[in-house]
Amino acid sequence: MGTANGEQPAAGASADKLRHVESMSQLPSGAGKISGINAVVLGESLAAEENDLIFPSPEFSASALVSSPKQYREMYERSIKDPAGFWSEIAETFYWKEKWNPTEVCSENLNVTKGPVEINWFKGGKTNICYNAVDRNIESGNGDKIAMYWEGNEPGQDGKLTYSELLDNVCQLANYLKSVGVGKGDAVIIYLPMLLELPIAMLACARIGAVHSVVFAGFSADSLAQRIVDCKPKLVITCNAVKRGVKAIFLKDIVDTALVESEKNGVSVGLCLTYENKSAMKREDTKWQAERDVWWQDVVTKFPSKCEVEWVDAEDPLFLLYTSGSTGKPKGVLHTSGGYMVYTATTFKYAFDYKPTDIYWCTADCGWITGHSYVTYGPLLNGATVLVFEGTPNYPDSGRCWDIVDKYNVTIFYTAPTLVRSLMRDGTEYVTRYARKSLRVLGSVGEPINPSAWRWFYNIVGDSRCPISDTWWQTETGGFMITPLPGAWPQKPGSATFPFFGVQPVIVDEKGQEIEGECSGYLCIKKSWPGAFRTLYGDHERYETTYFKPFAGYYFTGDGCSRDKDGYHWLTGRVDDVINVSGHRIGTAEVESALVSHPQCAEAAVVGVEHEVKGQGIYAFVTLVDGVPYSEELRKSLIMTVRNQIGAFAAPDKIHWAPGLPKTRSGKIMRRILRKIAARQLDELGDTSTLADPGVVDQLIALSDC
């Protein structure tokens, strides 16, 4: 095992890894010049230029949890030099039925050459994340505080739950789950839209030690079946239907199809708990299998609103969340209970400068990691009031978000660059017709935000007075890794800035050598952090191969990163075969596999291409079976095949007909060339003479606009 338990690193080790904060000591606490950068103070002027440096206002910093570069530097240095002490102090603010061994706060091995990769935090400590997120808030006198507001698809549809009411609902469902045989360690698939029942279901599973696996209710039946087969759940929780805008989506039908498919693959699920979503579909119109299907409203409400807590070890599993891999098979990312709890709560608190009076809205769905960490667990662990939104941000028009902000007096608004770009394209009048005076912190998640979108978000949505927490993190990391702390230091539009406490980012070259100073390369993380995932479910070998073998001794993020002369980090996107579409990671192999399942598709190669709204779009080169002519109908049929097998969010934006694909003599597809053709960067194709058939490139260029 590697070093652990708060042992002091070797002399010079911490200093070597703290160089990114050395530049911070040069940052002035107020407006001024640094490296020729224009200084802008929050609330005083617009961010207009590429090289703006935007300072928090003195008023904001004065009340911020971290109010200066000096305070951040002191806290960060402590978190690196004494991780056991730093994180133990924070962990002790939560309730633990049994304390962890103080000499074994953390233990790790990230180096595959030294044995199996293993990460442990607070092992031996007994706790429960549901208890800490709900009961603890009630016991501290906040039972009547609103835990969750709910805003429905249609304006005027709304609801709310206090912390006491939330606990009652969670306990009733937990008791039902126990009554049908769900216990500690059992998997439960949750396939629900953004109803309050979704976080309730997550918390109910956590309360009894069951392992929830939320599947985004936009995934197809095939994708859902894959996940059912992999984790073998005791039951599936869904609802009959949901409306997104004007469109009804029949979720129960999708589940029915998935359960048939999973049974063909040897996994039979005998129970489907179905919530009746009356606003989308009548009960009598729902297809039903009486021996398997049960209405939530008919059974759950009959159970007691008190349920004993199952105390679990810090390293017991909390949830599985499947994410796309480059091989086509989804990866079951497994997060455990104690470290994840401590890390998500802490990142939420500091990255949003959380205050008890805040009304917090994250637009993410709980089907993604953001909805786990920053809709459900992180906010509730801080006793926050959270807004859950069922609908879409442009229905009934593009002013819906700001209507909601004004309705609930939202103070912290956390969303994706895709949404920012989409609303930006629709025009500022949808924003400016609303007051938005309650907003004080904005946030961005899912992909790098380009500087022009950052400035629009800052200038228009935030009236040039709200700092933006532009967060970089991943499903695998559990919580924020590189993020601004709103009152602590100046921001640069588009930069995630500096690492969170306990996180040691390094930029390495192809050989795995760390690069110092101003540079670009592969982003890796040195040493573990409490929120790190522990394995890929049932496939620890893939866990090691994907994340730890590329650069021994480091966690490899799969992302490229640049660091500027001031130490700020700039994420440049994926460097592997994964496309980031609207913040959703989609494996190219997954889309290719769906395309070639079409009877008229012989071969397919998929690449990411820049997209004005989504960040990246899916660009598919398709070779048809001999003799099959190109047609618009076939193009639509291929796209529909992907929609049906994976989901609408994975549908290709462009089908490019390809008589052949550029391959080496050994048969490897040269995706570098395909990316250049897709981006119309034809003067950057490079040497094509080594291809088995160089003429293919000219054919593809000729067919670019077909």
Instruction: Tell me the mean pLDDT in the region 381-408.
Output: 96
Band of the pLDDT at 24, cuts 50, 70, 90?
low
pLDDT digits (tens, 9 = 90+) for 682-691: 988 876 766 7
Instruction: Examine the pLDDT at 148 and tell me if it is beyond 60.
Output: yes
User: Which DSSP helix (H) or strand (E) runs through 299?
Assistant: helix 296-299
> Looking at residues 574-580, what average pLDDT do you find?
80
Identify the pLDDT of residue 183: 98
- Please tell me the predicted confidence (pLDDT) of residue 590: 80
Considering only residues 19 and 287, tell me which one the structure prediction assigns the higher pLDDT. 287
pLDDT of residue 327: 55
Using one digit for the tens of pLDDT, what is the confidence trace for 242-264?
Answer: 999 999 999 999 999 999 999 99
What pLDDT is attached to residue 258? 97
What is the pLDDT averaged over residues 322-343? 87
Residues in the chain: 706
pLDDT of residue 672: 83
Average pLDDT over residues 13-34: 42
Q: What are 89's two structure tokens?
A: 């102090």
pLDDT at site 19? 47
Q: Under a CB-based contact definition with an 8 Å cutoff, are residues 503 and 369 in contact?
A: no
Split at pLDDT 50, 70, 90, the class of 18 is very low
User: Looking at residues 2-8, what average pLDDT do you find?
Assistant: 34
Which ranges of 586-631 would DSSP assign to H, the alpha helix? 588-596
Question: 197 near 275, Cβ under 8 Å?
Answer: yes
The per-residue pLDDT for 573 is: 75
The mean pLDDT of 609-619, rounded to a whole number, is 92
**Which tokens in the block code for residue 198?**
């979704």
**Residue 693 annotated as catalytic:** no
Q: How confident is the model at residue 312 (pLDDT cuts 50, 70, 90)?
A: very high
- Name the maximum alpha-carbon separation found in the chain: 73
Q: Write the pLDDT tens digit of every residue in 402-456.
A: 999 999 999 999 999 878 888 887 889 999 999 999 999 999 998 788 888 899 9
pLDDT of res. 683:
87
Average pLDDT over residues 106-123: 97
DSSP 624-647: EPTTPPP-HHHHHHHHHHHHHHTB
Residue 33: predicted pLDDT? 29
The contacts of residue 330 (CB under 8 Å, 6+ apart) are 223, 226, 227, 230, 322, 323, 324, 590
- Whether 155 shows a pLDDT value over 70: the answer reads yes
pLDDT of residue 576: 76
Geometric angle at alpha carbon 603, from 600 and 608, rounded to 5°: 115
Average pLDDT over residues 346-370: 97
DSSP string over 391-448: S-TTSSSTTHHHHHHHHHT--EEEE-HHHHHHHHHH-THHHHTS--TT--EEEE-SSP
The Cα–Cα gap between 486 and 437 comes to 18
| pLDDT value at residue 151 | 98
57, 50, 52, 51: which is closest to 30 by C-alpha?
A: 57
- Please give the mean pLDDT across all residues of the chain: 90
Band of residue 105 on the pLDDT scale cut at 50, 70, 90: very high
pLDDT value of position 32: 30
Residues 651, 489: Cα–Cα separation, whole Å: 40
Task: Name the band, by pLDDT with cuts 50, 70 and 90, for residue 625.
Answer: confident
Q: Which pLDDT tens digit goes with each residue over 501-553?
A: 999 999 999 889 999 999 989 999 999 999 999 999 999 999 999 999 999 99
DSSP for 116-150, please give it: S-EEEESTT-EE-HHIIIIIHHIIIIITTSEEEEE
Q: Which helix (H) or strand (E) holds 73?
A: helix 69-81
Phi-psi category of residue 476: left, alpha or beta, with phi > 0 → left and psi -120 to 50 → alpha: alpha
Comparing 28-42, 96-110, 276-290, 427-441, the range with the smallest average pLDDT is 28-42
Bridge-based pairing of strands 272-275 and 578-581 is unpaired
β pairing state of 106-109 and 118-121: antiparallel
pLDDT category, 4, cuts 50, 70, 90?
A: very low
DSSP 492: -
Residue 66 above 90 pLDDT? Answer: yes
Q: Specify the DSSP class assigned to residue 98.
A: B
pLDDT of residue 705: 81
- pLDDT classification of 666: cutoffs 50, 70, 90: low
pTM: 0.85
The one catalytic residue among 253, 576, 653, 693: 576
Please report, for residues 20, 256, 293, 697, the alpha-carbon distance to residue 271 in angstroms, rounded to integers and kept in the order given: 53, 11, 6, 53
pLDDT reported for residue 284: 96
